[in-house]
Amino acid sequence: MDCDAKHNLRLGPKLAVLTLLWLPSSTMADWVGETRPMMGTEVSVYLWSDDPEAGRVTIDEVFQEAARIDVLMSTYKDDSEMSKINRGAAESPVTISQELFQLIQRALDISLLTQGAFDITYDSVGQHYDFRAGRRPDATTVASEVRNIDHHYVELDDASTTIRFRQEGVRINLGGIAKGYIVERGIDIVRARGIENAIVTAGGDSRLLGDRRGRPWMVGIRDPRNDDEVVLSVPLADEAISTSGDYERYFDEDGVRYHHIIHPGTGEPASGVRSATVFGPDAVMTDALSTSVFVMGVDKGLRLIATLGDYESIVIDAKGRVFFSDGLQQPENQTIE
């Protein structure tokens, strides 16, 4: 165990999932924040502003940006760029925006990094799930569609900014990095307005700017089997943190949990892990890596994280045991409050 770890974890079963401290202020400067339901989850923005009115305008801009990205990436809206790709890219190259091109490029790079655990073509099978309706593909559908899961089927052409699928039936979905991208872009907006302390959260993905004015932000990791409890909380500043869990979008059938993180090798929901948390400098990476560690499992997942100097991870396995990446101090070494 590395005792020079920069992150000290503290057990805090009663802490709120995201502990935000609202400091009273004698001046005009204050914390301002807002939470809105979006993309089947909640997006929230909190920031410290010298001018709370201007702060609220900035918050609105962040929500507008989140809505724009949601439309850009949506596979549900027929006229979105993503829908155009999924309809036409197997037939002929589809011209796309620079922004989407670069995001897909990043997703493919992460597939290589994670040896295919992260794979946006998961949606070849993923499209047949409807978690709200409790619907899942039958074994025959999974067996035939799993053959369309392989990031190598996605071909990007830099010169023409086009995308092509090498195989009929392939479908892509950026759900594994969309929220990370939203919070990263949100913090870019906030920073450009001169704000130095902020947190933008979309579902399980957060990006923190600065600290909580003199103290770190405390980000709680939820107990995967108890909504109201936090297993531990992580003090962080100027970092991103993402959690992927089997409790976000799921249904249970005959004692089996069917959730939204698909193992690209089997086409079935990945098993063995209840939640994977990753933190580090970039929210697109933490978002993709939390999904990847979830798929890879405790051993392979933490081995991957150990190769990435800037990133750390906390994994809760199917038995509820908590595992830490090498750079973290175990809470056993800490004073329990």
**Which residues contribute to the site for ligand ADP (CB under 6 A)?**
118-120, 122, 126, 173, 175-176, 179, 203-205, 244, 248, 260-262, 264, 287, 290-291, 295
Find where tokens 């009929």 sit. Answer: 168
103: left (phi over 0), alpha (psi -120 to 50) or beta: alpha
Residue 312's binding partner among Mg ion, ligand ADP, none (Cβ under 5 to 8 angstroms by kind) is: none
Residue ranges in 240-269 that form contacts with Mg ion under rule CB under 5 A: 244
Token couple for 322: 């908590």
Residue 44's binding partner among ligand ADP, Mg ion, none (Cβ under 5 to 8 angstroms by kind) is: none
CA gap 184, 240 in Å, rounded: 8
Residue ranges in 173-232 that form contacts with Mg ion under rule CB under 5 A: none
CB-based burial of residue 7 (10 Å sphere; 0-12 exposed, 13-18 middle, 19+ buried)? middle
Amino acid code (one letter) for 160: S
Is 44 or 173 the residue whose CB approaches ligand ADP more closely? 173
Shortest reach from residue 194's CB to ligand ADP, in Å: 29
Find where tokens 């609105």 sit. Answer: 60
CB contact set of 144 (below 8 Å; sequence gap of 6+) = none
> CB–CB of 295/264 below 8 Å?
yes
Residue 230's binding partner among Mg ion, ligand ADP, none (Cβ under 5 to 8 angstroms by kind) is: none
Shortest reach from residue 95's CB to ligand ADP, in Å: 24
Residue 179's binding partner among ligand ADP, Mg ion, none (Cβ under 5 to 8 angstroms by kind) is: ligand ADP
Is 195 or 276 the residue whose CB approaches ligand ADP more closely? 276
Is 275 a binding residue for Mg ion by CB under 5 A? The answer is no
Shortest reach from residue 203's CB to ligand ADP, in Å: 4
Burial 213-249 (b: 16+ CB within 10 A, else e): eeebbbbbbbbbeeeeebbbbbbbeebbbbbbbbbbb
Residue 122's binding partner among Mg ion, ligand ADP, none (Cβ under 5 to 8 angstroms by kind) is: ligand ADP
Report the residue from 174, 287, 297, 311 that binds Mg ion according to the rule CB under 5 A: 287
Is 290 a binding residue for Mg ion by CB under 5 A? The answer is yes
CA gap 324, 128 in Å, rounded: 34
CB contact set of 136 (below 8 Å; sequence gap of 6+) = 128, 129, 251, 253, 258
CA gap 41, 201 in Å, rounded: 10
Shortest reach from residue 58's CB to Mg ion, in Å: 26
Is 269 or 331 the residue whose CB approaches ligand ADP more closely? 269
Is 74 or 244 the residue whose CB approaches Mg ion more closely? 244
Residue 216's binding partner among Mg ion, ligand ADP, none (Cβ under 5 to 8 angstroms by kind) is: none
Residue 264's binding partner among Mg ion, ligand ADP, none (Cβ under 5 to 8 angstroms by kind) is: ligand ADP
> CB–CB of 154/120 below 8 Å?
yes
Report the residue from 291, 304, 323, 327 that binds Mg ion according to the rule CB under 5 A: 291
Give residues in contact with Mg ion (CB under 5 A).
244, 287, 290-291
